[in-house]
Structure formats: C-alpha cells, structure tokens
Amino acid sequence: MCLAVPMRLIKKSDNYATAESSGITLNVDLSLVPDASIGDYLLVHAGFALAIIDEDEARDTLDILRALEGE
C-alpha cells in the first residue's frame, strides 16, 4: 500500500523544496507542482510533491494518521 502524507512547504529553490510535517523535514521534488508556494500544503509520496491541497484537508488527514498511530 502506498501512502501520500500532507506536508507544509517551508523552503523552495527551483524545482526542489523542504517540506515539514510533525517536526519531520523532507527534501521534495516539485516537478509535478511547480506553482507551489511557501506555506502551501503538499501531498507528498516518495520524495515527490503530487498535489497542492488546502489546509483543512491537510489537517483532517494528519488527524486521521495520528489516530491510527494510537491503535
């Protein structure tokens, strides 16, 4: 099973960026979302930002993932 995780874009340089979620940072490729801006929430899988998502969707998804960690 593959899982894409919401992460917030905190630093950008051309087609590469640093994204953060729950205190973890990751270098990501922005080739699929070149219009992403600092502060945007991205859906990230295997080091690639797949889509820009709204903040509410990102928070809802992160809440679900945190709940699953407790099971």
Q: Domain with 22 in it: what CATH number?
A: 2.30.30.140
DSSP state of 5: E
Separation between Cα atoms, residue 33 and residue 17, nearest integer Å: 11
Model confidence pLDDT, tens digit, residues 28-63: 999 999 999 999 999 999 999 999 999 999 999 888
pTM score > 0.75 for this model?
Answer: yes
Domain span including residue 43: 5-69
Number of structural domains, the chain?
A: 1
Read off φ and ψ for residue 2, nearest 5 degrees. -105, 145
When comparing pLDDT for 48 and 68, which is higher? 48
Contacts of 6 (CB under 8 A, 6+ apart): 21, 41, 42, 43, 44, 53, 57, 58, 59, 61, 62
